[in-house]
Amino acid sequence: MNSAIRIRTCTAEDAAILALVGQATFLEAFAGVLDGQHILAHCADAHAVARYRSWLADGRYQLWLAEISPGYAPVGYAMIAPAQFALSDSTSHDLELKRIYVFSKFQGQGLGKKLLQAAIAAAHARQVQRLLLGVYEHNEAAIGFYTRMGFRKVGTRKFNMGGLECDDYVMALPISAG
């Protein structure tokens, strides 16, 4: 099978697609790891179509969709947003990689790296100093990926996942000027 993956910037028409992919990839990543009812409650809220519609209408947010051919079905996405971390050195020059999800079937093929590269390019264009993210402390695969991409742990935070309080690492990637 000859397939190709493309990364494209999302438009307002992509809200329902992003919500579906967000729910499916979150469920896929955490089923069997965290309580199912909390996962479903989180997906109903954090991955609601209205939430994506709001983000897509707000110029401070930027989203990219990864699609595979033939047919260009969605297989992952990434999103940057204003950073909202309570770090002692937080500044308005920080940006958050709020979402980066790829279906497991397509992981290990460089797709996450391509999505991250789109986010880093946008961070450069916005002249931010660093890209921050929160990652579940037991998500070793994601932590390993972010570490390989140059992120370093700079703190921790509590994350409410559908009524369940989880511990996240906060990781940062310096964005060089130029």
Q: What is the pTM of this model?
A: 0.92
The CATH code of the domain that includes 83 is: 3.40.630.30
User: Domain tally for the chain?
Assistant: 1
* Dihedral sign, Cα of residue 29, residue 33, residue 37, residue 41: negative
Domain that holds residue 32: 5-174
For residue 139, the Cα-to-chain-centroid distance in whole angstroms is 14
pLDDT tens per residue across all 178 residues of the chain: 457 899 999 999 999 999 999 999 999 998 988 889 999 999 999 999 999 999 999 999 999 999 999 899 999 999 999 998 887 788 888 999 999 999 999 998 899 999 999 999 999 999 999 999 999 999 999 999 999 999 999 999 998 888 888 899 999 999 976 5
Which strand ranges, in their side-by-side order, compose the sheet holding 152-161? 5-9, 62-68, 73-82, 94-102, 130-136, 164-174, 152-161
pLDDT score, position 2? 59
